[in-house]
Chains A and B, each alone.
Chain A
Amino acid sequence: MVLSLIILYVLTLIYLSIADRFRNHTTILAIQGLLLFGIAMARLHAFHPVELSFIIVETLVFKAIAIPAILMHIINKTKINRIHSASTQFGALVMSILALIASCAITYYMADNRTDMIFFGVALYALLSGLILIVLRKRIFAHLVGFLVIENGVFLFSMAIGVELPMLINLAIMLDILISILILGMFLRRMDNDMHTDESDALTSIKD
């Protein structure tokens, strides 16, 4: 069960590298939220109401519903549609596959007996996919998507190494990330309004 969810998660990352519409990016993030919910539920050892509620809030409410809704709102307000890629879709796919291979190699080298190798590898792949998205894409919205992919990778990573942080800390971390996304979204819209741009190439007025 978990393995099939993980494979689906990897497929969403590969698809994300070639998707060229921002609505598709948002849908993929929502699907990733659902998959993370499934994975977290499957790994739940025992029934703890508080832990279960937190997983539901963090994955279903936050990652699968709230964040995609914020992104859709930004898309509708700014009327951005497609990515303007600095590389071809094929190039992005090749980079993504190379990242997958690199993740496997690093996992093989790094993971010890306390670590779930599959989770570790996929988390690393998610992190690299996020970074690739930020580096290859010109549009700022794609950078926001890249940041969220990295955040999802971090979530998987915490499951890979089996770390269970206290609830208060988890809650604080989740709130921090949510506020960051809200503020990033707000400033993205402001850039669209004030600077009439949503491309990173336009952000070069501050220099020495």
Chain B
Amino acid sequence: MAMLIYIIVSLVLAVAPLLVRTERASNIVSSLFFLVQVASIALIFILGLHDSVMLSIFRADSMAILFHILMTAVLGFALLHSSSYLHAEKVTTRSYKAYYTLLMLLAVAITCVYYSDNVAMTWVFLEATTICSAGIIYHREFEQSLEATWKYIFVCSTGIAMAYLGILLLSTVAEHGALDYASLKAVIESGNPLYLKVAFLLIVVGYSCKMEIFPLYTVGVDANYAAPAPASAFISTALVNAGFVSIMRIYTLYASAAEVFVWARHVLILIGVLSLAVGAMFLRRTNNYKRFLSYSTVENMGIVAIGMGIGGVALWAAVFHVVCHTLVKSSMFFQVGIMRHVYDSYSINRIGNYMSINRVGAVGFILGTLVLLAFPPSPLFLSEIMIFSEIVSEGSWWLLVIMLLLMCVVIYSIWSRTLRLGYHSSQDEIHLSAVNRRLSYSAAVLLAIAIVLGLWQPEVLKSAIDQIINLN
């Protein structure tokens, strides 16, 4: 019942901006929406709903709650930055209201993915995220956003159709059509191994468009490029996490099918290495800060996939990596949004000297880069060291060498571009706009939380991750 109330209230608030007249009213509605998210998380703890099944298709387990908290945090900042971004873009009131509606609908769909306890319903809600994202990607209504939107809907729909095929194959093991994860986990070992392998491949390939890993990562990169920067922050973290949660649930399910699980982990390692390679290659080539951050997401999700493939401590590190990446990457996308307002450009070759224009924003971006590159005390340093140590203990030196080589390319690419932005002079005449330093400070809050997590991990977070990686 609690989940039903949450969904109805959230949906009503999400469509409310379309019914109000002013932009100010839309802001009030979106603030209420944010408060509903916070209240729903608080109620889970107050009413003791942890691990309870709701509406027979949702479960408030640790994974769902943790990622819902993260999504809510990013959403709060996204709503704040969106208002400023849209005013700077001088969008029409109609467009302003549509943007907020779509962003909130996307948040509801993502939340449902997190809480979904049914393999088919996870698919349904993921497809719903495609539909909501499409409107946001097209929001700027220029030629390239139209192209990005078409590619996003088409590739995601086709990819997710493939994932559905995988779910059908997986459901051959189901008894009496029970597709909840616990029921499937109990019977998965009796399934045809060949079917299970093909199912895993199809599901991971299909969901890769959401998690932004190889092979369907391209649509996510294009989507982040075309969408308004605050929405990109949300897509590149909350939506990517929805892809991760969906794959993680399948991963946990397969842990009960010993023979197939080994094969599935190898597949994840291969996908992870390819994602890391693609990220490293395109980080060198791209000339746009938003695409640059998107390829960094591909690279980081590649590391996460490798961690999942290795298992053990690396699996713990992979989940921790996703949590911290959410905070760091959203902070950097918000900083890039402010930067775009200043320069009216995302072009890497064109803009520079940011340190003298917006010192707070520049320091936030440079610090964010250092954290992203896993320099201590970055939490990503911790997670990557844990993954490396597990790789070494498994004796997979070849994997360690490949990862280190690719990460050297990543470090060089990211750091050289960050220095260019901070200290190099702009290439040509640029008409600068006024800087909103308060927004730069607010974006740095998420980064500060990530750095704190690098120095100290609260017991509640450790225990939540322990529960998430419990494969029994």
Binding site for B on A (CB under 8 A): 110, 112, 114-115, 127, 134, 140, 143-144, 147, 150-151, 154, 157-158, 161, 163-166, 169, 172-173, 176-177, 179-180, 183-184, 187-188, 190-191, 194-195, 203, 205-206, 208
In the docked arrangement, what's the CA distance between A58 and B143, Å?
Answer: 35
CB of B146 within 8 A of CB of A150, answer: no
B426 at the interface (CB under 8 A from A): no
Q: Count chain A CB atoms within 10 A of each CB in B151, B168, B172, B291 and give the residue with the most.
A: B168
Chain A min CB distance to B36 (Å): 23
B433 at the interface (CB under 8 A from A): no
CB of A191 within 8 A of CB of B146, answer: yes
B157 at the interface (CB under 8 A from A): yes
CB of A184 within 8 A of CB of B172, answer: no
CB of B165 within 8 A of CB of A157, answer: yes
Chain B min CB distance to A110 (Å): 6
CB of A147 within 8 A of CB of B158, answer: yes
Q: Mark B103-130, 1 if CB is under 8 A from A, else 0.
A: 0000000000000001011011001101
Q: Mark B137-179, 1 if CB is under 8 A from A, else 0.
A: 0100001101111110110011001001100110110100101
12 contacts between A and B (CB under 8 A): A115-B172, A147-B157, A150-B161, A157-B168, A161-B172, A163-B168, A169-B120, A172-B124, A173-B124, A179-B131, A188-B150, A205-B143
**A166-B177, A206-B222, A208-B286 in contact; A154/B165 too (CB < 8 A)?**
yes
**A165-B179, A169-B124 in contact; A206/B144 too (CB < 8 A)?**
yes
CB of B120 within 8 A of CB of A173, answer: yes
**A114-B172, A161-B172 in contact; A147/B164 too (CB < 8 A)?**
no
CB of A206 within 8 A of CB of B225, answer: yes
Contact residues in A for B121 (Cβ distance below 8 Å)? 169, 172
Report which of B151, B153, B286 forms a contact with A203, defined as CB distance below 8 A: B151
Contact residues in B for A172 (Cβ distance below 8 Å)? 121, 124
CB of B130 within 8 A of CB of A180, answer: yes
Binding site for A on B (CB under 8 A): 118, 120-121, 123-124, 127-128, 130-131, 134, 138, 143-144, 146-151, 153-154, 157-158, 161, 164-165, 168-169, 171-172, 174, 177, 179, 192, 194-195, 198, 222, 225-226, 282, 285-288, 291
Contact residues in A for B286 (Cβ distance below 8 Å)? 208
CB of A163 within 8 A of CB of B171, answer: yes
In the complex, which residue of chain B has the Cβ closest to the Cβ of A147? B158
CB of B124 within 8 A of CB of A158, answer: no
Question: Mostly helix, strand, loop or mixed at chain A's interface?
Answer: helix
Contact residues in B for A127 (Cβ distance below 8 Å)? 165
CB of B194 within 8 A of CB of A110, answer: yes
In the docked arrangement, what's the CA distance between A187 and B153, Å?
Answer: 9
CB of A184 within 8 A of CB of B146, answer: no
Contact residues in B for A183 (Cβ distance below 8 Å)? 131, 134, 153
Contact residues in B for A188 (Cβ distance below 8 Å)? 150
In the docked arrangement, what's the CA distance between A150 and B153, Å?
Answer: 15
CB of B285 within 8 A of CB of A208, answer: yes
Chain B min CB distance to A130 (Å): 8
In the complex, which residue of chain B has the Cβ closest to the Cβ of A151? B161
In the docked arrangement, what's the CA distance between A33 and B396, Å?
Answer: 51
Contact residues in B for A208 (Cβ distance below 8 Å)? 282, 285-288, 291
Report which of A134, A143, A195 forms a contact with B146, defined as CB distance below 8 A: A195
**A165-B179, A183-B153 in contact; A176/B128 too (CB < 8 A)?**
yes
Contact residues in B for A194 (Cβ distance below 8 Å)? 143, 146
In the docked arrangement, what's the CA distance between A147 and B157, Å?
Answer: 8
CB of B131 within 8 A of CB of A180, answer: yes
CB of A158 within 8 A of CB of B168, answer: yes
In the complex, which residue of chain A has the Cβ closest to the Cβ of B150? A187
CB of B168 within 8 A of CB of A184, answer: no
Chain B min CB distance to A11 (Å): 23
Q: Count chain A CB atoms within 10 A of each CB in B121, B148, B157, B195 and give the residue with the most.
A: B157
**A169-B118, A208-B282 in contact; A195/B168 too (CB < 8 A)?**
no
Chain B min CB distance to A87 (Å): 20
CB of A154 within 8 A of CB of B161, answer: yes
Chain B min CB distance to A180 (Å): 5
Chain A min CB distance to B402 (Å): 22
CB of A187 within 8 A of CB of B146, answer: yes
CB of B147 within 8 A of CB of A165, answer: no
In the docked arrangement, what's the CA distance between A188 and B151, Å?
Answer: 11
Contact residues in A for B127 (Cβ distance below 8 Å)? 176-177, 180
